[in-house]
Amino acid sequence: MNITDSEVFVDTKFLLHRVKFSILLILQIPAFILSLLIFFFFIKHRTIREAPHNRALLILLIVNFIQLSFTLPLNLHFYAVGYVSPAIPTFCTWWTFFEFTLYVTSEYLMATISVQRHLLVFNGHILRIRWKRILFHHLPLVFCLSYPIIFYFFAIILYPCDGSQYDYTNNLCGFADCYLLFNKVLGTFDWAFNNGLPMVINAVANIMLIVRVVQQKRRQQRPVTWKQQRRMTVQLFCISSLYLAAWSPSLIVGVVQILGFPTFLAAVQTDYFLDLIYIVCLFLPWIYIGLLPELLIWIKTLCHCQQRHNAVGTVVTRTQLHILQ
């Protein structure tokens, strides 16, 4: 590569980073604000918050909010300056630990919600029994929150490595954790079990749920109303589709690379497909607003009350001015 080619490459990278920074920042701010509004809504509406089909969604939103507030700003900082700062192995180790943990926690929560939705739609009475509620609802959620932390603590934090493999010119230090580079078995397990399996469960559970709901509507033999079934089904389908759209490109390319073509779309994977994963945390709050009618009504009420308050304040101010005159 001559000097001209090198300069063009650097300029292209710089432009790509600036575009990514702008897009992520523009999408992050409203997503952050919407997440806060949703939290306030759940705090003020205890009945809605404690509904079984909303409890897991609230946990998912909390994990998503952590990504918006703590890990996404690190990505924004990289795209703003063009390099990892501070450029030390310890920073990369902990950054990838938190990033990978939140990724997989979010995926497993979505897969668990997809499976649990079958119980809520067709066998909701089971969760009224305490031990069954703990077994089928609480314990899977505890697993989703604890397993990723334990796995990546051993795979990233405790894995013997000197840190010299990190690439400080690429986002997330080049995804160059030692277990991914030097332990093919563990790396393949991570990609297949921690990333691929939840997406497969997610897709299969959604397809089966749609089929069962259609059959249920035809038979009309269950006590659960069709309206409630449709609402919970649409809610799950929209959120699951967001995950599938964000993760499918990188997962498909990753499978092809694992099967024996390590350079297949490598540049596209690094520069574009891996960034699509951010779609989840950036658009999830918007989906919540569209799928919780009570939340949308509450937000409209807040806006209406604020407008009335501003209107009253304006009238009072004008009256005072008129009296002074």
Domain range for residue 301?
Answer: 292-325
Same domain, 275 and 207: yes
Same domain, 189 and 205: yes
Both 220 and 308 in a single domain? Answer: no
Where is 161: in which H helix or E strand? none
> 297 and 277: one domain?
no
Residue 270 maps to which CATH number?
1.20.1070.10
For every residue of 245-305, DSSP letters joined together read: HHHHHHHHHHHHHHTT-TTTTHHHHHHTGGGGGHHHHHHHHHHHHHH-HHHHHHHHHHHHH
- Check residue 2 and give its pLDDT: 53
Dist. CA 87–CA 89, nearest whole Å: 7
Indicate whether 182 and 318 sit together in one domain: no
At 247-275, the pLDDT tens digits run: 999 888 888 887 777 788 888 888 888 89
**Mean pLDDT score, 157-169:** 89
Same domain for 150 and 232? Answer: yes
Q: Are 280 and 181 in contact (CB under 8 A)?
A: no
Q: Residue 228: its pLDDT value, please? A: 60
- Range with top average pLDDT, 20-24, 271-275, 286-290, 302-306: 20-24
Task: Note the helical H segments in 45-88.
Answer: 46-49, 52-66, 72-81
How confident is residue 324, by pLDDT bands cut at 50, 70 and 90? very low
- 258 and 313 part of one domain: no
Query: What is the rounded distance in angstroms from the CA atom of residue 94 to the CA atom of residue 171?
Result: 14
How confident is the model over 25-84, as pLDDT tens digits?
Answer: 999 999 999 999 999 998 888 888 877 778 888 999 999 999 999 999 999 999 999 899
Confidence of residue 321 (pLDDT cuts 50, 70, 90): very low
Q: Residue 283: what pLDDT? A: 94
Average pLDDT over the chain reads 83
Phi, psi values for residue 253, rounded to 5°: -65, -40
Give residue 301's pLDDT.
Answer: 81
pLDDT at 9: 54
157 and 39, same structural domain? yes
Give the residue among 69, 22, 45 at the shortest CA–CA distance from 285. Answer: 69
pLDDT at 309 over 60: no
Same domain, 258 and 300: no
**pLDDT value at 199 more than 70:** yes
Tell whether 264 and 299 lie within a shared domain. no
Rounded distance, CA 304 to CA 307, Å?
5
Query: Among 166-175, 188-197, 265-274, 311-320, whose mean pLDDT is lowest?
Result: 311-320
pLDDT at 209: 82
pLDDT digits (tens, 9 = 90+) for 214-258: 777 776 655 545 566 666 777 778 888 899 999 999 888 888 887
- The residue ranges of DSSP E strands in the chain, in sequence order, are none
Q: Domain check: are 200 and 244 in the same one? A: yes
Q: Percent of the chain beyond pLDDT 70?
A: 85
- Assess contact for 277 and 99: CB atoms under 8 A: no
Among 113-117, 145-149, 170-174, 310-314, name the one with the lowest average pLDDT.
Answer: 310-314
Q: Which residue has the tokens 């205890």?
A: 46
- Pick the more confident residue, 6 or 213: 213
Q: Does position 320 have pLDDT exceeding 90, yes or no?
A: no
Q: Are residues 272 and 298 in the same domain?
A: no
Nearest to 284 by CA among 68, 12, 121, 94: 68
Please state the domain count of the chain. Answer: 2
